[in-house]
Structure 1
Amino acid sequence: MKILLFALCLLPTLTFATRYRTDPDHTRIGFRVMHMMINQVNGQFNNFIGTFDFDPKAGTLKDTSFVVKTTSIDTGVQKRDDHLRSKEFFNVEKFPEMTITNSKITKKKNNDYKWTGDLTLLGVTKPVTFDLTYNGSRKDMEGKTKVGFTAKGKINRKDFGMPFDAPVSGGGLLVGNDVDILLDIEAFEEK
């Protein structure tokens, strides 16, 4: 009986993570890559779904699952987007999705974290670490709790087997190997 009473006394101090789903109208899965060694080209993916468990009090993020449709790549230039969908880049016919799953999170200070997830791209899975900022939570006009995050990570596209390579005069590559991954996430509480 004493153990049960002790456990009940602890119950209010326990924290539980809440399940969230990305709001597609207010979330951006973006990237940036160097072009001709002189300029950055930005793009995004327009078709994705993300879910995760988050507890801001405990600073925990777990059971992360982002599924991105690679065919939805959008850089604002149709010819470039068609090339990016080809076998030289995302090979969307063979690999129509890329994913980020699992989570390891370490609090740095205040609302800043290091978040590591497993990125699967072109059939290759590697950990990617993001600088993640929790921007807070609010109730929307419908009374749903929403949370917001920004995150930035970096990958080398060659590590995932993306083969395109074209040298440019003066040295360097037409498309850089390093790709910044830029996430602006707004998600609502699932009930």
Structure 2
Amino acid sequence: MTDNELDLNGHWTIDPGHSRIGFSARHAMISTVRGSFNDVTGDVRVDVDDLDGSTAQVTLKAASVDTRNGQRDDHLRSPDFFDVERFPDITFVSTNIEEIRERAYIVSGDLTIRDVTKQITIPLELGGVMVDSFGAVRAGFEGSRRVNRRDYGLEWNMPLDKGGVLVSDKIDLEFEISLVKQDQ
């Protein structure tokens, strides 16, 4: 079956082994550092006939941050950034899901990092819906959104000798999500 024969209605969960929720930031004003969270869970309920009744909830374990550099990851886990001992979870809870065009959605909701919650909108494109080789129905979404990390209390930085700062304030959030249907 293809996405022409399947729809998004129903209960879905994030497949963490086939999903990536990550970020990228400018480093030292000259390069980009990318990272992701390896421990992600999520629950999505979709009613395409009444998107007002649809919901999405995502939880990232802040300690699972991975930038492929242990020293940097330890610093990101520290009180300078995510403070994972005090704030172990980064959460997103939707307040509205809107179809803006065919296969394109805006998901609005509350993003909480540390102890700060802000409303955010995330554009997501539907890559497709299909049955995998094990018989599970899957849906794929991708999108990105820029945020200011300081809005969430992530204040640490270091000035550079020739001007500028070590870590950009603007962070690009990156979403590559594989959902698995639960109520087949």
One-letter amino acid of the counterpart of residue 163, structure 1: E
Distance in 1 between the 2:95 and 2:177 partners? 16
- SS of 2:17's equivalent? coil
Unmatched runs of 5 consecutive residues or more in structure 1: 1-14
Determine the structure 2 residue equivalent to 1:115: 107
1:166 alignment counterpart: 158
Report the alpha carbon displacement of residue 33 of structure 1 after superposing the two structures with TM. 0.6
Write the deviation string for residues 58-109 of structure 1: whole angstroms up to 9, x where unpaired.
4838321101100000000000000100100000000011100023223222
Alpha-carbon distance, 1:38 to partner: 1.0
Q: Which of the numbers 16, 37, 41 marks the counterpart of 1:49?
A: 41
Q: Distance in 2 between matches of 1:157 and 1:82?
A: 18
Change (3 A) 1:50 1:178: same
Q: How does 1:12-31 map to 2 (within 5 A)?
A: 17-31=9-23
Query: Is the 2:94–2:107 contact (alpha carbons within 8 Å) kept by the matching residues of 1?
Result: no
Residue aligning to 1:127: 119
- TM-score by structure 2 length? 0.89
Distance 1:161 1:114 in 2: 25
RMSD of equivalent CA atoms: 1.8
Secondary structure, counterpart of 1:71 in structure 2: helix
Contact 1:17 1:60 in 2 (8 A): no
Matched, 1:60 2:51: yes
Larger CA Rg, structure 1 vs 2: 1
Which residue in the other structure is 2:94 paired with?
102
Taking a change above 3 Å as real, the CA distance of residues 137 and 101 of structure 1, as seen in their structure-2 partners, is same
CA contact (8 A) 2:127 2:142 kept: yes
Report matched runs for 1:146-185 at 5 Å.
Answer: 146-185=138-177
Contact residue 71 and residue 92 of structure 1 kept, 8 A? yes
Q: Aligned pair count?
A: 176
CA distance in 2, matches of 1:48, 1:99: 10
Equivalent residue, structure 1, for 2:76? 84
CA change 1:58–1:173 in 2 (3 A) is farther
The corresponding residue for 2:85 is: 93
Instruction: Measure the CA separation in 1 of the matches of 2:63 and 2:93.
Output: 20
Unmatched 5+ stretches in structure 2: 1-6
CA contact (8 A) 1:30 1:43 kept: yes
Determine what percentage of the aligned residue pairs are the same residue.
35
Report if aligned partners of 1:59, 1:107 keep a CA contact under 8 Å in 2.
no
